[in-house]
Amino acid sequence: MLEQIREAETTQAIDRLRLVHEPKEPRNVKAFILSNIPVDIQVDQLFTWERYSLVQKLVDESDGFIPFNKVHLNSHCQSVNSPSTASNRVKEIKDNWDWYQSTGLFKGWHMLECRKFRVGRWSEVITCLDQAKLKLKLKFLIQGDVEVRPRRE
């Protein structure tokens, strides 16, 4: 009986939020349910806390930037213990970039491209730092001069 009451309360609270925040113009409103209680609501995207917390851990230890090169990410973040784990984290962030930004996790972050000065291919990096600070930090990671540019579409 208590479970049914909780389910109904959650559904009712979300329905009330939708009524209170009736938009004047069309917009995309998101509600996050942090619970494992089943509710009678259509879910557009299911995200587990484990998935979210893995990326949150990257942000916490990132020092303001996350390189998308799997070798650099592996050496930059302690929670990434292999190149295959680094590839999985990069794919997770790229596939769900908009979602993570909407949760505020990557608020103020942007994508850039970087490489060793005039050597090799460009690789992506996300950062909340300005380009000068990012260059200094990447210089130690890549062990050489670095060039940074806005990401090309």
Predicted TM-score (pTM) of the model is 0.75
Residue 83, pLDDT > 60, answer yes
Q: What's residue 42's pLDDT? A: 80
Work out whether strand 65-67 and strand 110-116 pair parallel, antiparallel, or are unpaired: unpaired
Q: What CA–CA distance (Å, rounded) separates 90 from 73?
A: 9
Q: Is 18 helix (H, G, I), strand (E, B) or coil?
A: helix
Residue 113 has pLDDT above 90, yes or no: yes
pLDDT of residue 151: 86
Q: How high is the pLDDT of residue 110?
A: 92
pLDDT at 89: 92
In whole angstroms, give the CA distance from residue 92 to residue 101. 13
Interior/surface letters 54-82, b for 16+ CB within 10 angstroms, e for the rest:
bbeebbeebeebbbbbbebbbebbeebee
The average pLDDT across 115-131 equals 92
